[in-house]
Amino acid sequence: MTAAPADAPALPDDVLLRVEHLTMRFGGLVAVDDVSFDVKRADITALIGPNGAGKTTVFNCVTGFYKPTVGRLTLKKSAGESWLLERLRDHQIARRAGVARTFQNIRLFGGMTALENLLVAQHAPLMAASGMTILGVLGAPGFARAERAAIEKAKGWLERIGLIERADDPAADLPYGDQRRLEIARAMCTEPVLLCLDEPAAGLNPRESAELNDLLRSIRADDGVAVLLIEHDMSVVMEISDHVVVLDYGKKIADGSPQAVREDPKVIAAYLGVEDEEVEEVEREIEAAEGGPA
Amino acid sequence: MTAPLASPLPHALKDAAITALIAFGLAAPMMGLVTVQVGGDLALEQHWDRVAWAVGIVFVGRLILNLTLWRPGRVRTKLAVSPKLEARLMKLARWLAPAAVVIAIALPFLPGIERYQIDLGILVLTYVMLGWGLNIVVGLAGLLDLGYVAFYAVGAYSYALLAQYFGLSFWLCLPLAGLLAAFWGVLLGFPVLRLRGDYLAIVTLAFGEIIRIVLLNWYWFTGGPNGITNVPRPSFFGIADFVSGKDGFAAMFGLKFSGLHRIIFLYYLILALALITNYVVIRLRRLPIGRAWEALREDEIACRSLGVNTVNTKLTAFALGAMFAGFAGSFFATRQGFISPESFTFIESALILAIVVLGGMGSQFGVAIAALVMIGGFELFREFKDYRMIVFGLVMVLIMVWRPRGLVSSRTPSVFLKEKKAISGALVQEGHG
């Protein structure tokens, strides 16, 4: 593994990911405009905002699916290992930097079993153990050992998300809530340091939502993995996140604890929405807070 | 809903009349008017009786169909295999596959088997091997490849040219042909990495044609349309040639010389090559690379999010698929003793792809059955030369209606915890990308 890029900035120890001046343009459209924020190592960070605010674009930049137009994304994996995510290709971000993600519309391998899904996530270590396939074809004992270990790990995760009984069923056959949890487990099988979840609670009932909260807390506490999530369900955001970043029209409008964000008049205006007759009043408040109109 | 309907007759009559009119429009110029040569002139002969027959048949046929099968409100029974039957077939297949291998091994010594049957066996096995090779690319990785025959050609020409210019033996050229074909597979893989579905199909199709046209026009090197004659025949593992005389294979093993020895040897050679292909593909499916191929077929974006290098994964699929075509190609060259670009036309690619699709993408056994039925059936009905293509097309249409995902459509998981359950084909993504 290559060492950290020489020009990677030094981050404080508790910061895992620093996003600086992230801007993403699609032709004339500025989807994300100069957004900066930190994701702390021990936090569940929520990225919220109205539809079209640029949340998923930020996500896609962090996970390498888009190359940002401007900006720097520094990930400090450990004390001696930092990565500049905007310089890595998408699969390298998952494999080397340790950023795993899920998708808004679940992207499981539907025709493969739950167990197989978790094994694909361990592709990189298994591939190395199979000696780029050559040793594997010959049936080397080292590979058999690695595969057993991978299956054990997958089993552990299936037990944790309560799907061990359905390990041999195709993923597309699972109920929606189980698919969501399986996708999270699959992302976790890549051994990430940062787990990015795109609307994990979408379409879940209150009970499933509560289970998800427990799972995310346990991922942070037991696995020591930081979580960055996009969420519309305010009950989830307010309950589990330690840090909330609010976007509106591609700009960051608030950044802080859930409590602070909830009381921020700009957030109330932009995100939670106001009655039509209150708009002017709220705008006056905002201007007063900013010290006059821009 | 069984609401009482008005008499279906008026509608049926109207529909039949419209169809008859269309039939008349088609039949009148094509069947009714025939040009004949009278002396030096061209005359027009009229056959209105034929037209009347055609229109009558269409009208009556359509009317009957409208009143029976296509009657409005008729509850349609779906043409499908029940899961129970499917499971039973799968169980049968488990026995059938080893049985088929045993029959294949014993074939040359079965009573009533002559040279023709062994030749046919060689042909079928060649296509079985090609089908299994293409199965990696299309069935597992889901990359629609319409130019697979290009690699078959590369394999065949590699051997023929290496033998012609450097006098290398078949046993040395066999692995070389595989490697060269794999190299060309990677070469094709690079430009098509970003393409999916239809676009990928078009580029691979073009690639197949490019290879053929280069072989056709590179006259001084490949012999162009004349091809390469006198491609050396294989020896018995470099020990003895299949010739009469005291150095020949027959004399060495104390047998009476027979031209059949070489044919039987070739049969076992292609059988071994095909079984090796099968073994490797089955093995690869259970390795991380095989799972990555299938994951790629299911969802490429999810693959990338999990750290799977999709570039390498696609390239290995192309390279390995091409390698087996290369082996098959060099076998083809040594069996025929003569190759020309004519053997590597697009129709060959289409045939191999049809075998994979009809057999069931990703299913080794289905592909073998499809190859046997397609190639064997094709030869069997040689006497009905004019009609076999029609029957053939009809059978293909029927299979696609009845079993749109091929004969064996279910997928067996590559790994299991407690119980290996077949996964219904309806859940498995098709290779479109």
Q: Cβ of A25: how many Cβ atoms within 10 Å? A: 14
Residue B240 resides in a domain: no
pLDDT in tens, B136-169: 998 888 888 899 999 999 999 999 999 989 988 8
The nearest alpha carbon in chain A to B409 belongs to A111
Give A126's contacts in chain B (Cβ within 8 Å).
288
Residues B298, B343, single domain; the answer is yes
At B158, list the tokens. Answer: 């590699």
What is the pLDDT confidence band of residue B241, given thresholds at 50, 70 and 90? confident
Residues B44, B108, single domain; the answer is no
What is the pLDDT confidence band of residue B123, given thresholds at 50, 70 and 90? very high
Contact A182/B at CB under 8 A = no
The nearest alpha carbon in chain B to A94 belongs to B307
Task: Give the distance from residue B94's alpha carbon to the nearest chain A alpha carbon, in angstroms.
Answer: 20
pLDDT in tens, A233-266: 777 888 888 999 988 888 888 888 888 888 888 8
Residues B286, B334, single domain; the answer is yes
| A-B contacts (CB, under 8 Å) | 136
Which residues, numbered 245 to 264 in chain A, qualify as contacts with chain B under a Cβ-Cβ cut-off of 8 Å?
A: none
Q: Please, are residues B178 and B277 in contact by the beta-carbon 8 Å criterion?
A: no
The nearest alpha carbon in chain A to B308 belongs to A91
What is the pLDDT confidence band of residue B80, given thresholds at 50, 70 and 90? low
Residue in B298, B306, B418 closest to A111 by CB? B298
CA distance B378 to B92: 26
Beta carbons of B301 and A103 less than 8 Å apart: yes
Say if residue A1's pLDDT is above 60. no
Residue A202: per-residue pLDDT: 84
Residue in B283, B287, B302 closest to A109 by CB? B302
Say if residue B432's pLDDT is above 70. no
Residue B115: per-residue pLDDT: 85
Residues B161, B291, single domain; the answer is yes
Residue B73 resides in a domain: no
In this prediction, residues A219-232 reach a mean pLDDT of: 88
Mutating which of A112, A159, A191 best tests the B interface, going by the most B Cβ atoms within 10 A? A112
What is the pLDDT confidence band of residue B344, given thresholds at 50, 70 and 90? very high
What is the pLDDT confidence band of residue A273, given thresholds at 50, 70 and 90? low
Q: Please, are residues A17 and A227 in contact by the beta-carbon 8 Å criterion?
A: no
Residue B367 resides in a domain: yes
What is the pLDDT confidence band of residue A231, given thresholds at 50, 70 and 90? confident
What is the pLDDT confidence band of residue B205, given thresholds at 50, 70 and 90? very high
Compute, in degrees rounded to 10, the torsion defined by CA atoms A92, A95, A101, A107: 90
Give B411's contacts in chain A (Cβ within 8 Å).
111
CA atoms within 13 A on the CB side of A270: 23
Say if residue B336's pLDDT is above 80. yes
Beta carbons of B429 and A111 less than 8 Å apart: yes
Give kind and range of the element (H or E) at residue B173.
helix B170-189
Residue B415 resides in a domain: no
Please state, for a pLDDT cut of 90, what percent of chain B lies above it.
Answer: 31
Residue B126: per-residue pLDDT: 94
Residues B63, B128, single domain; the answer is no
Give A169's contacts in chain B (Cβ within 8 Å).
421
Give A63's contacts in chain B (Cβ within 8 Å).
305
Q: One-letter amino acid identity for A152?
A: E
The nearest alpha carbon in chain B to A152 belongs to B417
Say if residue B328's pLDDT is above 90. yes
Beta carbons of B429 and A110 less than 8 Å apart: yes
The nearest alpha carbon in chain A to B414 belongs to A116
The nearest alpha carbon in chain A to B430 belongs to A111
Could you give the domains of chain A?
Answer: 12-98+192-261 (3.40.50.300), 110-190 (no CATH), 264-294 (no CATH)
Beta carbons of A123 and B307 less than 8 Å apart: yes
Helix residue ranges per DSSP H, B68-148: 83-106, 115-135
In this prediction, residues B85-111 reach a mean pLDDT of: 80
Say if residue B79's pLDDT is above 70. no
Contact A131/B at CB under 8 A = no
Residues B131, B36, single domain; the answer is no
The most confident of the ranges B6-20, B101-115, B322-336 is B322-336
Q: What is the DSSP letter of A113?
A: B
CA distance A121 to A94: 10
Beta carbons of A133 and B316 less than 8 Å apart: yes
Residues B294, B382, single domain; the answer is yes
Residue A4: per-residue pLDDT: 56
Residue B75 resides in a domain: no
Residue in B416, B428, B429 closest to A115 by CB? B416
Mutating which of A88, A93, A116 best tests the B interface, going by the most B Cβ atoms within 10 A? A116
Beta carbons of B418 and A167 less than 8 Å apart: yes
The nearest alpha carbon in chain A to B419 belongs to A168
* Residue B217: domain span: 86-235+262-402
CA distance A226 to A195: 6
What is the pLDDT confidence band of residue A184, given thresholds at 50, 70 and 90? very high
Beta carbons of B424 and A170 less than 8 Å apart: yes
Residue in A64, A123, A151 closest to B306 by CB? A123
Residues B142, B286, single domain; the answer is yes
- What is the number of domains present in chain B? 2
Q: One-letter amino acid identity for B144?
A: L
In DSSP notation, B240-270 reads B-S-SSTTSHHHHTT----THHHHHHHHHHH
Strands A44-48 and A243-248: parallel
In this prediction, residues A69-87 reach a mean pLDDT of: 82
Residue in B280, B307, B417 closest to A155 by CB? B417
Beta bridge pairs of residue B288: none
The most confident of the ranges A8-22, B318-332, B377-391 is B318-332
Residue B76: per-residue pLDDT: 60
Residue A293: per-residue pLDDT: 47
CA distance A107 to A130: 26
Say if residue B275's pLDDT is above 90. yes
Residues B101, B165, single domain; the answer is yes
Residue B287 resides in a domain: yes
Please state, for a pLDDT cut of 70, what percent of chain A lies above it.
Answer: 87
CA distance A276 to A281: 10
List all residues 6 or more positions away from B109 whose beta carbon is below 8 Å from its beta carbon: none
In this prediction, residues A132-150 reach a mean pLDDT of: 77
Q: One-letter amino acid identity for A267?
A: V
Say if residue B202's pLDDT is above 50. yes
The larger pLDDT score, comparing residue B414 to residue B267, is at: B267
Give CA separation, B61 vs B20, B47, B69, B71, in Å: 10, 22, 11, 13
Contact A74/B at CB under 8 A = no
Residue B175: per-residue pLDDT: 93
Residue B419 resides in a domain: no
Give CA separation, A180 vs A62, A102, A107, A183, A215, in Å: 21, 9, 9, 5, 11
Residue B381: per-residue pLDDT: 76
Residue A224: per-residue pLDDT: 87
Say if residue B373's pLDDT is above 70. yes
Contact A192/B at CB under 8 A = no
Contact A187/B at CB under 8 A = yes
What is the pLDDT confidence band of residue B208, given thresholds at 50, 70 and 90? very high
The larger pLDDT score, comparing residue B217 to residue B414, is at: B217
Task: Give the distance from residue B276's alpha carbon to the nearest chain A alpha carbon, in angstroms.
Answer: 12
Residue B199 is part of a domain; what is its CATH number? Answer: 1.10.3470
Say if residue B91's pLDDT is above 70. yes
Task: Give the distance from residue A10's alpha carbon to the nearest chain B alpha carbon, in angstroms.
Answer: 26
Beta carbons of A123 and B291 less than 8 Å apart: yes
List all residues 6 or more positions away from B424 whose beta carbon is below 8 Å from its beta carbon: A170, B83, B409, B410
Beta carbons of B309 and A172 less than 8 Å apart: no
CA distance B361 to B410: 9
Residue A275: per-residue pLDDT: 59
Residues B276, B326, single domain; the answer is yes
Residue A94: per-residue pLDDT: 78
Q: Look at the alpha carbons of B148, B150, B156, B158 in this order and tell me if their dihedral is positive or negative.
A: negative
In this prediction, residues A110-137 reach a mean pLDDT of: 83
What is the pLDDT confidence band of residue A286, given thresholds at 50, 70 and 90? low
List all residues 6 or more positions away from B261 whose beta carbon is below 8 Å from its beta carbon: B242, B249, B250, B255
pLDDT in tens, A193-208: 999 999 888 888 888 8
Beta bridge pairs of residue A40: A15
In this prediction, residues B91-112 reach a mean pLDDT of: 83
Say if residue A279's pLDDT is above 70. no
Residue B82: per-residue pLDDT: 62
Instruction: Categorise residue A162: left if φ over 0, alpha if ψ from -120 to 50, beta otherwise.
Output: left
Task: Give the distance from residue A235's alpha carbon to the nearest chain B alpha carbon, in angstroms.
Answer: 28
Rounded to two decimals, the ipTM of the complex is 0.85
In this prediction, residues A13-26 reach a mean pLDDT of: 88
In this prediction, residues A35-40 reach a mean pLDDT of: 90
In this prediction, residues A2-20 reach a mean pLDDT of: 74
Residues B282, B352, single domain; the answer is yes
Q: Cβ of A95: how many Cβ atoms within 10 Å? A: 22
Residue in A130, A164, A172 closest to B287 by CB? A130
Residue A27: per-residue pLDDT: 87
Give B427's contacts in chain A (Cβ within 8 Å).
110-111, 170, 172-173
Residue B20 resides in a domain: yes
Say if residue B262's pLDDT is above 80. yes
Residues B289, B184, single domain; the answer is yes
Say if residue B4's pLDDT is above 60. no
